[in-house]
């Protein structure tokens, strides 16, 4: 019963499934959104009511966080909504995309109340992405396929699922190491390696680049913060994952080599749809032309597709600048800077209060958030549109949720009784 009424489970399913599977039944895009949002609202309302009844609470409070990131995001959404007034596009998919990612941003802020919620969230992410990884492995072993895809999305969507599962598993392996659970350490490490290997086999070049950049950024962080507890505790986890990952690369080396030779050959071909460099270059030039003609205001939400005939420019920044102008992009940059500032404060906060067990458990959450933040910032500039970038908005909401609870740990006895490691 507790699993059914757990809002974290509904959150994960909503983020992962999105609207794509409904298209299998021939439901129009706008109807998919309306149905997805309606189902989510019903599930969350029923969940909150049931949980409140079981806990004996009669009131439910949803408050806005005192965060520059939150208010900048709200202004960003309102600006995007107002831009529809001068957009050549009709009320449709992009407008609904805008508010869908805002909901994705809000849900972790409102639903993640303590460290146990964060642990439960990462476990669900690891579990469901692990199931998708098994599907990917089965497809590779039984079918002659060139690229892996999932849930109605392309290879870049599959790769982002795999990274989320791999990074969540790596953070849980770190937590298992802290709690001295060797069997969990090995299990999560293996799952992490499988997910990271499938990123390579997904065929998404942007995700491959983002994976390398995020790993290098994490290594640089560990070198710079060589005295931190995070670096000391992560060594064993890093060694275990590196051994398994190196073994997987050696075992599949011939297939990986041949695969990427063929994949990168597309870069210099005349393949359509943004597959080759020339096609991406043309999309970028179209976006830059729109930006230069209306740099401040942009052309309105959904305008890129209406004016160019293409879906999106395969670059998150160019999409925002061309449709919402410099004003919208500056608001988004304020969100990014605020979130990054709050994220980088976590290690210092842990270092000053590492005598409290619950505070030390923030370390594994930071591992997940830091690496994921870098990965998705890079990945969204290679492929996908606003809706495909929902994982990035989801992470921003998680960071704000962490910032809200971390200061309560020292003063709230419940955090000491029920840490994530329990």
Q: pLDDT of 185-234, one tens digit each?
A: 888 888 888 888 888 777 777 888 898 898 888 888 877 776 666 656 66
pLDDT at 101: 87
What is the band of 337 on the pLDDT scale with cuts at 50, 70, 90? very high
Is 118's pLDDT higher than 60? Answer: yes
Is 59's pLDDT higher than 50? Answer: no
* Alpha-helix runs per DSSP H in 2-92: 7-17, 29-55, 68-83
Helix, strand, coil % in the chain, rounded to nearest 5: 75, 0, 25
Is 4's pLDDT higher than 80? Answer: no
pLDDT at 13: 72
Is 53's pLDDT higher than 60? Answer: no
Compute the Cα dihedral for 306, 308, 314, 319 and give only its sign. Answer: negative
Helix (H) and strand (E) counts for the chain? 17, 0
More confident residue, 350 or 362: 362
Q: Where are the beta strands (DSSP E) in 229-280?
A: none
pLDDT at 89: 72
Is 1's pLDDT higher than 50? Answer: no
Mean pLDDT over residues 70-76, rounded? Answer: 91
Whether the CB-CB separation of 171 and 398 falls below 8 Å is answered with no
Whole-model pTM: value is 0.84
A 10 A CB-CB count for 35 gives 14
Q: What is the DSSP letter of 26?
A: T
Q: CA end-to-end span of the chain, whole Å?
A: 20
Is 63's pLDDT higher than 60? Answer: no
Report the C-alpha dihedral over residues 150, 155, 157, 162, rounded to 10 degrees. 80
Estimate to the nearest angstrom the gap between the alpha carbon of 406 and the chain centroid.
21
Residue 311 half-sphere exposure, CB side, CA atoms within 13 Å?
13
Instruction: With H, G, I as helix, E, B as strand and everything else as coil, classify residue 134.
Output: helix
Is 50's pLDDT higher than 70? Answer: no
A 10 A CB-CB count for 156 gives 24
In the predicted model, what is the mean pLDDT of the chain?
Answer: 76
Is 378's pLDDT higher than 80? Answer: yes
Domain locations along the chain: 1-60, 67-417
More confident residue, 100 or 76: 76
pLDDT at 418: 47
More confident residue, 258 or 152: 258
Residue 221 half-sphere exposure, CB side, CA atoms within 13 Å?
19
Mean pLDDT over residues 311-326, rounded? Answer: 91
């Amino acid at each position: 019963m507790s699993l059914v009424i757990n809002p974290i489970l509904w959150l994960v399913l909503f983020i992962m499934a999105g609207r794509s599977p409904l298209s299998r039944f021939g439901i129009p895009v706008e109807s998919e959104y309306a149905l997805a949002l309606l189902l989510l609202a019903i599930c969350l309302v029923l969940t909150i009511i049931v949980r409140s009844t079981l806990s004996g609470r009669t009131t439910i409070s949803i408050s806005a966080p005192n965060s520059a990131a939150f208010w900048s995001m709200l202004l960003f959404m309102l600006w995007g909504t107002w831009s529809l007034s001068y957009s050549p596009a009709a009320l449709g998919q992009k407008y609904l995309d805008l508010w869908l990612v805002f909901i994705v941003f809000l849900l972790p802020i409102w639903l993640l109340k303590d460290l146990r919620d964060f642990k439960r969230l990462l476990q669900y992410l690891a579990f469901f992405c692990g199931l998708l990884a098994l599907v990917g492995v089965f497809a590779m072993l039984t079918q002659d396929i060139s690229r892996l895809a999932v849930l109605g999305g392309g290879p870049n969507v599959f790769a982002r699922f795999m990274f989320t599962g791999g990074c969540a598993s790596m953070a849980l392996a770190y937590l298992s190491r802290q709690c001295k659970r060797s069997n969990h350490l090995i299990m999560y490490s293996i799952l992490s390696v499988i997910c990271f290997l499938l990123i390579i086999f997904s065929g998404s070049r942007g995700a491959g680049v983002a994976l390398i950049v995020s790993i290098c950024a994490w290594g640089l962080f560990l070198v710079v913060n060589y005295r931190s507890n995070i670096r000391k505790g992560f060594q064993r986890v890093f060694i275990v994952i590196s051994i398994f990952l190196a073994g997987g690369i050696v075992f599949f080396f011939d297939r990986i080599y041949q695969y990427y030779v063929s994949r990168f050959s597309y870069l210099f071909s005349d393949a359509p749809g943004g597959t080759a460099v020339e096609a991406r270059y043309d999309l970028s030039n179209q976006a830059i032309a729109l930006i230069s003609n209306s740099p401040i205001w942009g052309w309105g939400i959904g305008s890129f597709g209406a004016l160019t005939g293409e879906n999106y420019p395969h670059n998150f920044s160019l999409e925002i600048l061309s449709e919402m102008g410099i004003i919208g992009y500056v608001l988004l940059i304020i969100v990014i800077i605020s979130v990054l500032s709050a994220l980088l404060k976590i290690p210092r906060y842990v270092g000053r209060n590492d005598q409290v067990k619950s505070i030390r458990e923030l370390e594994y959450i930071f591992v997940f958030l830091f690496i994921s933040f870098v990965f998705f910032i890079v990945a969204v500039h290679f492929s996908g549109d606003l809706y495909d970038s929902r994982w990035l908005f989801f992470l921003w909401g998680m960071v704000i949720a962490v910032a809200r609870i971390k200061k309560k740990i020292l003063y709230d006895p419940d955090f000491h009784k029920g840490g994530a490691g329990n």
